[in-house]
Structure 1
């Protein structure tokens, strides 16, 4: 666990990095972050997570403190405000960070990323509780890459974007059918990016944010898996002449962020030294600012939703990595350090 003394020593450093993320008064916004406890593994950033049933799985990643990449995996059980970690079999492939993961509901899939020598990877592995890990024998058809995104909808996993050594940032996408163990190329998202984030809400997949040409992207897309098309939604910046986006102030834009869903809405948090939390309503395609994330500013965290509660954990900032875990109460009043 990161000691409190480290936080005090680095307070000025961290506050200087949240230049766009820290609000002057969290009481202006609704929502409350509650620190729940610590991840049982070593501190890390750029790990992956997936859920199977009522269990959460977290693994891989990078420890800035010790310059170490991981292949270990941990199973999390949550019961109300109590939780229990159990270490499981490590990923059989190379230790890595900046990988991707998705879950079919019964099996979790992990692949891509960057190994200890920063070589890009393209292998995939499947984890089934009770059976352990097996290698996905169908070869990922895209190039080896890191900082891609992945999601699962309508019986297929989807993987795309990211960064490779030769082409830089990418916009290609591929689908994986677990039943036939086959990959297929699908429509590319219109703009290249790495370090974006995705979420699935009411059976629809979305991709938002990311980095390209040194700029955080402000576009926002829904993937129509029936017609294999990317549907553009309203941008996450003050982009139009309409008044609805005047309050966006270009601070929703970020990369290396996390997203999760609760109560029929989506939430975007952390990333690129940003503490701001934003809520997206699919009924109106509008974003509303919520209480800032109350932990240290970070990027490369992981997030998941379990029993309609959103959680954020781990991540890094500068030379520090974290192991703290938080959950969000979107309609509670802000309480400091609860």
Structure 2
């Protein structure tokens, strides 16, 4: 599947099929027709199909849990081993079943908090230790109870903010696992938002997308924890005049994001749709490039995480259909529609 919005321009040649030694050979330059990146289907997520779950990476494993299956808010948690391509069930999350929560890792621990249990917005907060497969309740998030927030870890601190508590939010708090304390830090620049994305490159966080009172936001911000400052970067759509010419179409909500090295990736979700687009961010140039489309079914409210040089997308939904498939995103491979 190739998006008509692709930035990359390709020169396609009419191919003459030449039979040589029983092999079909395409004449012309193959490099001109190669797409960027490839999706590979992997072992299905082993829990029930769900959307709006949380995910994070600790070491060489990805972790996925909580969420909503169309009937129940869930508490089960799972670890993915990319070497064996298998899932391992972990200890259940001890809080109320929820969707729209935040999950992130700091060092060798994972953290999950906030969300919605079907009745109440939440602000409780928990730590997961994979070495003992145990959960410990920590100090409550000090902001208002909410769902649809963002979270990320940088060095020894975790960060949680934005979301929806009955109003749209842009506040941000830092969590210190050593002291089990929270501190209010500078709020995200620009618009309030819920269901946005965040990823971390070289010790700085990048935040964008999301919705605020029915408006899909296109502002994009870089956070430097060393100075506690936000810097606006190039916007995520071509709706306003910018200093470069490109077809940007990344606005939307309930997308997934992850980082590989010095590149960030935003995928799926969209403006009330179950999307398949994947965008790659170059932090050096502050520019985006649309790469191959996600080869699984279009979806929103999925989970994304990265292990090494591979990104992963799993779960999510399209309308009332919930997913449990897992796909590896290889941004440097050549596209192969048959993977």
TM-score category (smaller protein)? 0.7 to 0.9
TM-fit CA distance, 1:205: 0.9
Q: How many residues align?
A: 309
Partner in structure 1 of residue 4 of structure 2:
23
SS in 2 for 1:221: strand
TM-fit CA distance, 1:241: 3.7
Partner in structure 2 of residue 318 of structure 1:
319
TM-fit CA distance, 1:113: 0.4
1:98 aligns with 2:100: yes
**TM-score between both structures, scaled by the size of structure 1:** 0.87
TM-fit CA distance, 1:264: 2.1
**TM-score between both structures, scaled by the size of structure 2:** 0.87
Partner in structure 1 of residue 48 of structure 2:
42
TM-fit CA distance, 1:74: 0.9
| 8 Å CA contact 2:113, 2:126 repeated in 1 | yes
Unaligned segments of structure 1, at least 5 residues: 1-14, 16-20
TM-fit CA distance, 1:274: 2.1
1:76 aligns with 2:80: yes
Aligned partners of 1:154, 1:333: CA distance in 2, in Å?
33
TM-fit CA distance, 1:334: 2.0
Aligned partners of 2:86, 2:295: CA distance in 1, in Å?
23
| 8 Å CA contact 1:237, 1:245 repeated in 2 | no
Distance 1:23-1:224 versus aligned 2 partners, 3 A rule? same
Distance 1:94-1:242 versus aligned 2 partners, 3 A rule? closer
Aligned partners of 2:262, 2:131: CA distance in 1, in Å?
32
SS in 2 for 1:332: strand
Aligned partners of 2:119, 2:3: CA distance in 1, in Å?
32
Q: CA RMSD in A?
A: 1.9
1:282 aligns with 2:283: yes
1:32 aligns with 2:32: no
- Which structure dedicates a bigger proportion of its chain to helix? 1
Bigger Rg over Cα: 2
Matches within 5 A, 1:179-190: 179-190=178-189
* CA deviation string 1:155-180 (max 9, x = no partner): 11100000013xx1111111111111
1:216 aligns with 2:216: yes
Aligned partners of 1:198, 1:24: CA distance in 2, in Å?
23
Matches within 5 A, 1:126-141: 126-131=127-132, 132-136=134-138, 138-141=139-142
TM-fit CA distance, 1:247: 1.9
Aligned partners of 1:304, 1:144: CA distance in 2, in Å?
25
Counterpart among 252, 255, 258 of residue 257 in structure 1: 255
| 8 Å CA contact 1:23, 1:276 repeated in 2 | no
Matches within 5 A, 1:148-297: 148-165=149-166, 168-190=167-189, 191-242=191-242, 244-248=244-248, 251-272=249-270, 273-297=274-298
TM-fit CA distance, 1:258: 0.6
Unaligned segments of structure 2, at least 5 residues: 9-32
| 8 Å CA contact 1:239, 1:245 repeated in 2 | no
Runs of 4+ in 1 over 3 A off after TM superposition: 21-29, 239-243
Partner in structure 2 of residue 330 of structure 1:
331
* CA deviation string 1:262-293 (max 9, x = no partner): 24211110013221111111110011111111
